[in-house]
Chains A and B, each alone.
Chain A
């Protein structure tokens, strides 16, 4: 499988080219841009999950994933994240872990790669937003997107602090502690106002825009519920 990332870092687009019939890639639902006509798609429930009635339980992740299978060598599959921003692929070796914000996951390939959604990591890393941390374990390649540009920070001996809404991913080997930031917690939209103090050795990938801030910006533009309606 060959991959090409176009239009990075602004509106990054992932082009996958299959090497032979039967080769597969798994993608987040809603990520399809285009494909060769012979590529077939199969929808399935994410492994190991209890089916929940509401999509919002999982925040930026849907219950379903789409598995695309090539019909012939040279077949193409084009995928894009929903947010305006960048996209990167990370090759993981066997047993290597990578922590990824759930809304940033785009696709992966490599039948042995594990996307662990039930990993008991820090609860409430992203506040009450419904986003959570995925633990991705190799071998395989995982593709993830960001809202805004991806800014990599190597954590030094002094540590580093970041707003959790801007954290996309970080490597294993880092220690992290989430705490409220500043005194004006009540003013912020749910999820803002939390920061994460990183220490140890590793890299943190930040996004230069925050989905929570976008949600906050869009809130007044939403249609208003009719009086007396129940949702």
Chain B
């Protein structure tokens, strides 16, 4: 399996080259195109073990992620499938190794082979007036994970503490701890500041940030759109 990334950093496309017999699971709405010899099957909700939680969530809370996946298998010889997310931005491949899990912010996951297992970790906190919610996938196992970012990707090798706006978080390795806190002391100040919740991240490991915040973008554009049914 090889990942070829093109048109970086704004409109990145991932071309996943599959050798005969190889398969990749991808978030359902991420497929753009594929060679004709691939078999496709649609699977149920991505996360195992906390299916009940996922069922209770509306699509809105998942940031548009359907959490249904398609598995593409190269049955008739080598082939490729091209994947991309909904918003403009970059893609990256992170290799998960035994002993170092990757925690992925919900809407940043795109695809991975079956050698990587994904479980949900629901943080359960809705951002103050912003509609953001914190929802992580824990990736364990041995293999590559394809992640998307809204904007460009900043890679930080953290050793210490940093305050991070939740909407700018893509993923981080398991050596890093996080704590949810308000941006300003006081709720009114947090509302006015527009910052909502932030994370205090500490520890040693790798942190991936995106240079744009999807819910800020959603609010900036969405507020000018025609109204919808409740």
Q: Which residues of B contact A219 (CB under 8 A)?
A: 60, 64, 228
- The size bracket of the interface on A is 35 or more
Q: Identify which of A184, A216, A222, A227 contacts B42 (C-beta below 8 A).
A: A184
Pick the most buried of B66, B131, B228: most chain A CB atoms within 10 A of its CB.
Answer: B228
Query: Is A218 in contact with B7, judged by CB distance below 8 angstroms?
Result: no
Query: Is B66 in contact with A188, judged by CB distance below 8 angstroms?
Result: yes
Q: How far is the CB of B15 from chain A (nearest CB, A)?
A: 9
Q: Per-position contact with A for B12-30: 1 when CB-CB < 8 Å, else 0? A: 1100000000000000110
Within 8 A of A (CB), among B34-51: 34-37, 40, 42
A197 within 8 Å of B (CB atoms): yes
Query: Is B218 in contact with A151, judged by CB distance below 8 angstroms?
Result: no
Query: Is A208 in contact with B218, judged by CB distance below 8 angstroms?
Result: no
A223 within 8 Å of B (CB atoms): yes
B63 within 8 Å of A (CB atoms): yes
Q: Which residues of A contact B75 (CB under 8 A)?
A: none
Q: Per-position contact with B for A1-21: 1 when CB-CB < 8 Å, else 0? A: 000000001100000000000
Query: Is B7 in contact with A209, judged by CB distance below 8 angstroms?
Result: no
Q: Per-position contact with A for B73-111: 1 when CB-CB < 8 Å, else 0? A: 000000000101111100000000000000000000000
Complex Cα distance A163/B59, Å? 22
Query: Is A161 in contact with B84, judged by CB distance below 8 angstroms?
Result: no
Stretch from A39-47, A95-103, A152-160 at the B interface: A152-160
Query: Is B42 in contact with A163, judged by CB distance below 8 angstroms?
Result: no
Closest to B59 in A: A220
Query: Is B84 in contact with A217, judged by CB distance below 8 angstroms?
Result: no
* Size of interface on B: residues with Cβ below 8 Å to A: 44
Q: A188-B66, A208-B84, A209-B86 are in contact. Are A160 and B32 (CB under 8 A)?
A: no
Q: How far is the CB of B212 from chain A (nearest CB, A)?
A: 11
Q: Which residues of B contact A10 (CB under 8 A)?
A: 10-11
A213 within 8 Å of B (CB atoms): yes
Query: Is A163 in contact with B131, judged by CB distance below 8 angstroms?
Result: no
Pick the most buried of A10, A158, A192, A220: most chain B CB atoms within 10 A of its CB.
Answer: A220
20 other A-B residue contacts (CB within 8 Å) besides A149-B13, A188-B28, A219-B60: A148-B7, A148-B88, A149-B10, A151-B13, A162-B32, A181-B40, A183-B42, A187-B68, A197-B36, A209-B84, A209-B88, A216-B86, A217-B63, A218-B221, A220-B64, A220-B218, A222-B228, A224-B228, A224-B230, A226-B227
Query: Footprint of B on A, CB under 8 Å?
Result: 9-10, 84-86, 148-149, 151, 153, 158-163, 166, 181-184, 187-188, 192, 197, 206, 208-210, 213-214, 216-227, 231
Could you list some 25 contacts between A and B, CB below 8 A?
A9-B10, A84-B88, A86-B11, A148-B11, A148-B13, A151-B7, A151-B82, A158-B36, A161-B33, A162-B32, A182-B42, A183-B42, A184-B28, A192-B29, A206-B32, A209-B11, A209-B84, A214-B86, A216-B64, A216-B86, A217-B214, A222-B222, A224-B229, A225-B227, A225-B230
Query: Footprint of A on B, CB under 8 Å?
Result: 6-7, 10-13, 28-29, 31-37, 40, 42, 59-60, 63-64, 66, 68, 70, 82, 84-88, 131, 214-215, 218-219, 221-223, 225-230
